[in-house]
Amino acid sequence: MRKAFRGEILSVAHDPRDDPDAVRHEADGLLIVEDGIVVARGHHADLADRFADVPTETLPGLIVPGFVDAHVHYPQMDRIASHGAQLLDWLDRHIFPAERAFAERAHADAVASAFLDELLRNGTTSALVFPTVHAHSVDALFEAARERNMRVISGKVLMDLGPDGLADTPDLARSETEDLIHRWRNKGRLGYAVTPRFALTSSDDQLRVAGDLVAAYPDVLLHTHLSENVHECAAVAARFTDARDYLDVYDRFGLVGARSVFAHGVHLSDRACTRLAESGAGVAVCPSSNLFLGSGFFDFGQADAHGVRLGLGTDVGAGTSFSMLHTAGLAYQAALAREDPLDPFRALYLATAGSAALLHIDDRVGSLEPGQEADFTVLDCAATPLLDRRTHGATLAERLFALQILGDDRAIYRTYVLGNCAWDKMTGFTARIMEAS
Ligand code: GUN
Ligand code: ZN
């Protein structure tokens, strides 16, 4: 079935630093969607005659691609805003106790549902997600994602050096991951990521298993944390005395490649940046989390000088908001702390097509180009009295920047998944249709 959406449309398919024509904007645009896929897009004046017979919905606000959260933890949503500690203590005090509760499948189901609804309320339609060490935490998330038709990539967390109640073994890491890959890989809109938590929670044997898995299943992603916090970096250096730097630890186990996504990368050596760029691996920048845990400011200048591929992640529960708009605004502030002003169109790119490229789903989502899946969100520049005042009569760049600095879930008027409205600020969630495939 064909549907048409009329409104102001904006997307940024490529990094505007590399491609001056990356920004695509139709002030009065038309998006034609057939069976969930964009089949045409352009100025209303150019397309209206050709698609005159297609039922058309006019959307108020700015239509942008659905956000792609390149790094987020679903089991941590109820521990967001936990006070008082940097990374390693925060994990011990707040996060590991929360993750232990996922031994119970019903708990995982309930949190997975609430988590995905929260993504949709924030305009996020795709995400790369950490679950817990429990294999059924992946089942819970994937089943909830299929109920909503969302693009979700995840994989059982590997952590044989984890605390009591959360430690697996190298053998379990291998067998449970293989079983999950066989059951879930590429089912509908889902994808799998081999997910060692970080270097400190896996033995050498388990990191070797992760490398074997990545080599055996070349279409999965590798998802982990890298160089986030100074105390973590010191502990990694103390354990892996032969490694040239933190990234080199992962490299020695075959974990650095074009399908590797590393969260944070706040404290990277120039050598590591060179190696990231040469391997095609990417970094999910998580400014909200970095500020909350006192980890530091991501160095956009250093990463850009080396050509490191970047996306944007909320990293909830260390991140303090599910909003990718708000996270884009914090990316601007983190960049400026190192005297790099982040362009609002580039920030939108990082939150959509950039993250999609990192997750290797940019052929499917992220820029609303014909042939892509029709995941989009409608932004309301008048969502609050202040946003309304600040954006009244403003240029597109000014409106976009104001949305990033002042906006959050309040600015999400609607979220569409495969051309169907999944969230409407006025009426809430739409009834769900289980995916057929
Ligand atoms: N490093 C290892 N585990 C975690 C986690 O759960 N959150 C963050 N922010 N960093 C980590
Ligand atoms: Zn994280």
CATH number at residue 381: 2.30.40.10
User: Is residue 435 included in any domain, yes or no?
Assistant: no
Q: Ligand 1 pocket test: which of 90, 133, 197 has the largest number of ligand atoms within 8 Å of its C-beta?
A: 197
- Is residue 307 located within the same domain as residue 335? yes
- What per-residue confidence (pLDDT) applies to 435? 45
Among 305, 333, 358, give the residue marking a domain's end.
358
- Is residue 60 located within the same domain as residue 96? no
What string of DSSP letters covers 257-311?
Answer: STTEEEEE--S--HHHHHHHHHHT-EEEE-HHHHHHTT-----HHHHHHHT-EEE
- Is residue 236 located within the same domain as residue 167? yes
- Is residue 153 located within the same domain as residue 7? no
Average pLDDT, the chain: 97
Among 324, 358, 392, give the residue marking a domain's end.
358
Residue 35 burial (CB count, 10 A): 11
- pLDDT above 90 covers a percentage of the chain that reads 97
User: What is the CA(234)–ligand 1 centre distance, in A?
Assistant: 15
Cis-peptide into 61, omega within 30 deg: no
* Closest atom of ligand 1 to CA, residue 200: 2
Residue 161 burial (CB count, 10 A): 16
Please, which residues bridge with residue 416 across strands? 376, 421
User: Is residue 434 included in any domain, yes or no?
Assistant: no
- Is residue 172 located within the same domain as residue 207? yes
Query: What does the pLDDT average to over 363-391?
Result: 98
Q: Is the per-residue pLDDT at 436 higher than 70?
A: no
- Is residue 178 located within the same domain as residue 281? yes
Q: What pTM was estimated for this model as a whole?
A: 0.98
pLDDT digits (tens, 9 = 90+) for 91-134: 999 999 999 999 999 999 999 999 999 999 999 999 999 999 99
Q: Give residues with Cβ within 8 angstroms of 342, minimum separation 6.
A: 300, 331, 332, 335, 336
Rounded Cα–Cα distance for residues 399 and 258 (Å)? 35
Residue 275 pLDDT level (bands cut at 50, 70, 90): very high
- Is residue 176 located within the same domain as residue 279? yes
Residue 418 burial (CB count, 10 A): 21
Q: Ligand 1 pocket test: which of 132, 225, 226, 227 has the largest number of ligand atoms within 8 Å of its C-beta?
A: 225
- Is residue 248 located within the same domain as residue 110? yes
Q: What residue's CA is closest to ligand 1, atom 5?
A: 91
User: In Å, what is the CA distance from 342 to each residue of 17, 83, 107, 109?
Assistant: 10, 29, 40, 38
- Is residue 247 located within the same domain as residue 378? no
User: What is the CA(228)–ligand 1 centre distance, in A?
Assistant: 8
Q: Is the per-residue pLDDT at 244 higher than 50?
A: yes
Q: Is the per-residue pLDDT at 412 higher than 70?
A: yes
* Strand (E) or helix (H) holding 336: helix 324-337
Question: The dihedral of CA 229, 124, 127, 160: what is its sign?
Answer: positive
Query: What does the pLDDT average to over 317-345?
Result: 98
User: Is residue 436 included in any domain, yes or no?
Assistant: no
- Is residue 106 located within the same domain as residue 202? yes
User: Is residue 197 included in any domain, yes or no?
Assistant: yes
pLDDT digits (tens, 9 = 90+) for 202-231: 999 999 999 999 999 999 999 999 999 999
- What per-residue confidence (pLDDT) applies to 432? 62
Q: What residue's CA is closest to ligand 1, atom 7?
A: 318
User: Is residue 363 included in any domain, yes or no?
Assistant: no
pLDDT digits (tens, 9 = 90+) for 381-399: 999 999 999 999 999 999 9
User: Is residue 377 included in any domain, yes or no?
Assistant: yes
Rounded Cα–Cα distance for residues 412 and 423 (Å)? 9
User: Is residue 437 included in any domain, yes or no?
Assistant: no
* Closest atom of ligand 1 to CA, residue 130: 6
| Segments forming the whole domain that contains residue 55 | 2-65+368-429
Query: What does the pLDDT average to over 51-67?
Result: 98
User: What is the CA(271)–ligand 1 centre distance, in A?
Assistant: 23
Query: What does the pLDDT average to over 236-257?
Result: 98
Neighbours of ion ligand 2 (CB under 5 A): 263, 315
- Is residue 23 located within the same domain as residue 127? no
Q: What residue's CA is closest to ligand 1, atom 3?
A: 197
Among 315, 337, 358, give the residue marking a domain's end.
358
Q: Which residues line ligand 1 (CB under 6 A)?
A: 73, 87, 91, 95, 197-198, 225, 228, 289, 315, 318
- Is residue 198 located within the same domain as residue 336? yes
* Closest atom of ligand 1 to CA, residue 315: 9
Count of structural domains within the chain: 2
87: domain CATH number? 3.20.20.140
Closest CA to 224 of 277, 155, 300, 319: 155
- What per-residue confidence (pLDDT) applies to 430? 81
Q: Ligand 1 pocket test: which of 89, 94, 198 has the largest number of ligand atoms within 8 Å of its C-beta?
A: 198
Q: Is the per-residue pLDDT at 377 higher than 80?
A: yes
User: Is residue 102 included in any domain, yes or no?
Assistant: yes
Query: What does the pLDDT average to over 161-186?
Result: 97
- What per-residue confidence (pLDDT) applies to 437? 41
Q: Is the per-residue pLDDT at 23 higher than 90?
A: yes
